[in-house]
Structure 1
Amino acid sequence: MRRDQGEGPRVGFTVGRALGGAVERNRMKRRLREAVRQRRQACSVPVDVVINPKKSLLTTEFSQLLEEVGRAFQVIQQKLTEKPRGQG
């Protein structure tokens, strides 16, 4: 969801009980927070982002997680900054 004010994205996480116990869920959130912190510069538009991880996040290499988060921010940046079709 695009916001009118602020710099860069605001990011939230939905890590429900179905993904594991409290220790596993907290580990997922810590990994995601760090990945977002390192890749936030890829998206400069003011937008609200909600990340809904899968359980495989626990076993994914951190470098892979960084790539995925960075790619997601790049796609968001492109979609929100491109001109609508039909307008010059």
Structure 2
Amino acid sequence: MHAAGPRAASASRRKPGQGSCSRELSRAEAIIPILPTLKARTEFLAVRGGRRSSTPAFLIEMRERPMMPGHGDGPRFGFTITKKLGNAVTRNRIRRRLKAAFAAGAVGAEASCDYVIVARRTALDRPYALLLEDVTRALAALRGSNKRGPPVETRSAPRTADGKKGSA
């Protein structure tokens, strides 16, 4: 017999919706929304070269995805946490913090876009309230960069006939 005893074995055979354990899970699921994520490397690579925004805790890239059957209409998020940031425990903690922040702040994300978030070390120690502000600011910056017109060329000093700066 296992050290956990017969009670633990019968608990694992419960049907979904039975017992106090599943009641706790349903409450937790109501509090923490599920964040649609990018899984395959090709999905991450498809976002490369899109619009970017940078915060102290992460870099975010966004690219609009073509409408394809079988893909959801909502935004999808991919998280990149490199080994340079620390061991597995540290990386997973950063990933969980960023996922929670984006789940709470994903209201500002565009529906038909994919996002890749590249974590920075400060995401580990940054207060959660500031992390939420970073998410809001980054998503707003990505939305705003879509609405800008063509860049305006400005010159600080007039150019001479030969193309050099100086007085005319």
Regarding TM over 0.5, the answer is yes
Residue 2 (structure 1) aligned with residue 70 (structure 2):
no
Decide whether aligned partners of structure 1 residues 56 and 2 sit closer, same or farther in structure 2, where only a CA change above 3 A counts. Answer: same
1:25-83 Cα deviation digits (max 9, x unpaired): 00000001011101111122421211111111111000000000111111112223x26
2:122 to 56, 61, 70: 56
Alpha-carbon distance in structure 2 between the residues aligned to 1:26 and 1:47: 25
Decide whether aligned partners of structure 1 residues 71 and 83 sit closer, same or farther in structure 2, where only a CA change above 3 A counts. Answer: closer
Structure with higher helix content: 1
- Percent of pairs with identical residues: 35
Computed over aligned residues only, the root mean square deviation of the Cα atoms, in angstroms, reads 1.7
Alpha-carbon distance in structure 2 between the residues aligned to 1:83 and 1:54: 28
Q: Residue type of the partner of 1:3?
A: R
Residue 46 (structure 1) aligned with residue 112 (structure 2):
yes
SS of the aligned residue for 2:89 comes to helix
Q: Residue type of the partner of 1:19?
A: L
1:15 to 71, 75, 81: 81
Alpha-carbon distance in structure 2 between the residues aligned to 1:42 and 1:77: 8
Alpha-carbon distance in structure 2 between the residues aligned to 1:8 and 1:74: 17
8 Å Cα contact 1:39-1:69 kept in structure 2: yes
- Deviates further, 8-17 or 18-27: 8-17
2:132 to 50, 66, 74: 66
Cα drift, residue 20 of structure 1: 0.4
TM-score, normalised relative to structure 2: 0.46
Alignment: residue pair count: 84
SS of the aligned residue for 2:64 comes to coil
TM-score, normalised relative to structure 1: 0.83
Which structure ranks higher in relative contact order (CA pairs < 8 Å, sequence separation ≥ 6)? Answer: 1
Residue 35 (structure 1) aligned with residue 101 (structure 2):
yes
Q: Residue type of the partner of 1:74?
A: A
